[in-house]
Structure 1
Amino acid sequence: MFVVVGEALVDLVGQRGGRTWVAHPGGSPANVALGLARLGNPVTLVTRLGRDAFGNMVRSHLEDSGVRVAGPDDEIATSLAIATLAAGVASYDFRIEWDVGALAPLPVETRCLHTGSLATALPPGSGHVIDLVQRERERGRATISYDPNVRPALLGAAESARPEIERLVALSDVVKVSDEDLRWLYPGRPDEDIARAWLASGPALVVITRGGEGVYAVTRYLEVRRTAVPIDLVDTVGAGDSFSSGLLDGLRRADLLGGPRREALAQIDRATLLSIVDAAAMVAAITCSRPGADPPTREELDAVAKGR
């Protein structure tokens, strides 16, 4: 079972300079949970949603795809991300409140805990999420997955954001990050050098998504580079989150998740890693071919794979 901890919100998406806005359920961790569920995985999302119309829309959207939604239930307004599109690429502004209170230990059947983005960066909730990651890392029962998915508008200076991100990287087994995030965190530094440095701090696998330039993945024993999947781009909303769900789904299908499988994950072979990365890239590509964070189902993914 997967447990995802993090924000669920509404993406208000509009074209730059336009007057029409469309509401889509979103939030990076929520998108990962959605993608995992649509690929056939049991997943619980621990989050915070209001009882308003937006909150009901997000909750129904997730539950209709099989996500179990858990977390505080109180009188708050559901958080918003205002996504402005230019040539299909999104930039964001936020109206968000993040506080989930103290988090209980994971159920014993949990094989992977995934978190990241605003949930690990915005107090007071971020402190509780980081405490959970620390406790679960010490227990050693579940694979820890992390995507920084940085939002500069909310993080201030890169210099102040880096230490907490690096701390979480060191606590994780699987780290997925975009080259855009790395350019903001480490201006002028080659992303592959950063990936190797992060790998040396603790993770078994570090993956960099590079948009149209493809994917780079590194372990203690392997480095792989893949070109991008050709797509008819609609927008990039949720693309990185869809890649994360495809990556984690692939690791589960290869029996590489769970504390007892940590060393096997570190020793993943090239053919398996390439297969997993390619499938994750296809999940992201399908999401980019339609509006909003709308990841594919297992049936859709299998149909595309058969048609190639």
Structure 2
Amino acid sequence: MSFLVIGECVADIVRAPAGSDAADRVHPGGSPANVAYGLGRLGRDVTLLTQLADDPAGRLIKARLRGAGVRVELGDMPARTPSAVVGLDAGGKASYTFDIAWTLTGGGPADLAPGHVHIGSIAAVTAPGATAVLAVTERFRDRATVSYDPNIRPALMGEHGEAVARVERCVALADLVKASDEDLAWLHPGEAPGTVAARWLALGPAVVLVTLGAGGSLAFTRSDTVSAGAPRVTVVDTVGAGDSFMSAVLDSLAGRDKAALGALTADDLAGLLDTAAAAAAVTVSRAGAQPPDRAELDLARSGFALRPGRAS
């Protein structure tokens, strides 16, 4: 099964903690790019339709993606590769300040025939490039499954009501949606995850997943609600944790068509959440958006201790 991921690449500039002697670190990032990279690390056939400038950050990101086996297709070339300054609090939790534009045009090469399309984050809701993202998704959705991760960045979302409408348009295109509790709190303040999930399921998706950080995760279908805990691990930083979760979800569901997604049982959902949580735990145990490869994910799932480090 082949995957098409559509969305932004971002150079994450991770600031050293105040008072530290450490230098700032630059990591390839961007939520869709991280998902594509995670799928590549797991051995999946994946194409990323994105924008990258021919600058040091762009070349760094492209080399990293291709090193994981990701096919990189450029819709057009911006003046500079987008960047985000990442601040970490005492617990390793990340906050972001962006320098990004999204102006994607075109739908990629004519030979694309994915079995699954993943969209999300800034690219799915930011004009003018979001128009191309949605057009490509609609082009394939009759013959491919679709997933969506809103990955809300409040500073880039604009007026709240319009932002919610843009997000819900993407939800309606998807068969599976994954969001964080922080995403839901911004989109629908004061509402319980189950209330938002029920509304989204009514728009069309078969499955809605909600991540709760150290609190674990939830899965909702029209017939079941399942919860799972998060593995205990020493957190280095949380950069890319949700994207690793998403990659592991897509890997676990590879080959299931729309009907099969709608037929997932409570046991299926519990196993899915456990596997995705293991992938996220590996990622938070080391610096930057470094998702596990197949061997690391299998080891984490088997319950072995997670060790800090960096992926190759």
TM-score range (shorter-chain normalised) is over 0.9
What letter corresponds to residue 51 of structure 1 in structure 2? D
Structure-1 residue corresponding to 2:11: 10
CA–CA distance in 2 between the matches of 1:104 and 1:235?
Answer: 34
SS of residue paired to 2:51? coil
CA–CA distance in 1 between the matches of 2:219 and 2:76?
Answer: 39
CA–CA distance in 2 between the matches of 1:306 and 1:282?
Answer: 9
Change (3 A) 1:75 1:165: closer
| Contact 1:221-1:267 within 8 A present in 2 as well | no
Tell me how far 1:74 sits from its aligned partner: 3.2
Instruction: Please give the residue correspondences for 1:38-187 in structure 2 after superposition, counting only pairs within 5 Å.
Output: 38-72=41-75, 74=77, 76-87=79-90, 88-104=92-108, 107=111, 109-137=113-141, 140-187=142-189
Structure-2 residue corresponding to 1:201: 203
Tell me how far 1:108 sits from its aligned partner: 6.0
SS of residue paired to 2:75? coil
Higher mean Cα deviation, 63-72 or 202-211? Answer: 63-72
Equivalenced residues, count = 300
What letter corresponds to residue 303 of structure 1 in structure 2? L
| Contact 2:175-2:205 within 8 A present in 1 as well | yes
Tell me how far 1:132 sits from its aligned partner: 1.8
Structure-1 residue corresponding to 2:283: 287
SS of residue paired to 1:47? strand
TM-score by length of 1: 0.93
Tell me how far 1:75 sits from its aligned partner: 5.8
CA–CA distance in 1 between the matches of 2:81 and 2:194?
Answer: 37
CA–CA distance in 2 between the matches of 1:10 and 1:168?
Answer: 25
SS of residue paired to 2:302? helix
User: Are 2:32 and 1:29 aligned?
Assistant: yes
What letter corresponds to residue 10 of structure 1 in structure 2? A
Structure-2 residue corresponding to 1:221: 223
Q: Which runs of 4+ in 1 moved over 6 A?
A: none
Cα RMSD of the aligned pairs, angstroms, is 1.6
Tell me how far 1:160 sits from its aligned partner: 2.2
Higher mean Cα deviation, 272-281 or 22-31? Answer: 272-281
What letter corresponds to residue 53 of structure 1 in structure 2? P
CA–CA distance in 1 between the matches of 2:206 and 2:110?
Answer: 21
What 5-or-longer segments of structure 2 have no aligned partner? 305-312
Structure-1 residue corresponding to 2:262: 266
What 5-or-longer segments of structure 1 have no aligned partner? none
CA–CA distance in 2 between the matches of 1:81 and 1:237?
Answer: 12
TM-score by length of 2: 0.92
CA–CA distance in 1 between the matches of 2:128 and 2:117?
Answer: 20
Change (3 A) 1:216 1:307: closer
What letter corresponds to residue 184 of structure 1 in structure 2? W
CA–CA distance in 1 between the matches of 2:111 and 2:253?
Answer: 20
| Contact 2:85-2:96 within 8 A present in 1 as well | yes
CA–CA distance in 2 between the matches of 1:195 and 1:21?
Answer: 38
What letter corresponds to residue 267 of structure 2 in structure 1? A
CA–CA distance in 2 between the matches of 1:220 and 1:176?
Answer: 15
| Contact 1:105-1:132 within 8 A present in 2 as well | no
Tell me how far 1:105 sits from its aligned partner: 7.7
